[in-house]
Amino acid sequence: MKKMIATLAALAILGVLAPTIYADTFLIDDFSMPIVGQTITVTGTGSQTSTINSLTGVVGNTRTMNINVTSSAYGYSSTLKTSPLAGGTLELGNEGGQNGVGTITWDAGGAGLGGIDITNGGLLPYFQAKMLSSDQTDIFRVDITDSSGHTAYWTSNLGTGPNAINQLLSSFTNPNAADFTSVDKIMVTLSSLNLAQDTVMDTVEVTNTPVPEPATMTLLALGGFSVFMARRRRKV
């Protein structure tokens, strides 16, 4: 129990348990499923792909992951995996000398999402994702393809450390006017200009509310933890 409380405290301080305050959300993936996780590994160079169906809480109920390694100085490994602990995270891990690029695709295993409206009738303007940590310069990219095959994308060099991605869909590069109310495919790519990138991310979604500042998230988490501890003290 003490260990669990210590873990909860650590997670609260990291902001992982910050309460979700969005009034409305279109969840793409929270990486909590499957409970056994989804893992692909490349040793040396190469490419590995994994598709898992029947995932509740995942858009299209299917997640496809790919890891592609084109440079390997020492023949070490690169891994892309979901970790179901603490509500689930997505982790890209490159050992020394590895340049593995991770891609997560939500398109119902290639069948397409059926022209789904990720804006809930235009009410949800913000694409969001949480970068919990990265030890190398992290390049985040999201591609959204509509049912006519038109793709809009947003990419940014996020540097290292935690980043709350909070981007208006209307600010995406969108040369062919991709329609966010009729989407067939969503793809997130994690890469780095540096070798040995280790990045952890969570919750990819579209919402109607900008994410709180990281400081606010931590305060909210600490506030929640204080209430938890106060309730606990009263019981003793």
Site residues, Ca ion (CB under 5 A)? 30-31, 87-88, 202
- Please choose, from the candidates 230, 222, 235, 233, the residue with its C-alpha nearest in 3D space to the C-alpha of residue 9: 222
Least distance to Ca ion, CB of residue 230, Å: 27
Pairing, β 77-83 against β 89-94: antiparallel
The amino acid at residue 229 is M
**How far, in Å, CA of 49 to CA of 232, rounded?**
45
Contact 61, 51 (CB under 8 A): no
**How far, in Å, CA of 24 to CA of 205, rounded?**
10
State the CB neighbour count (10 A cutoff) for residue 61: 16
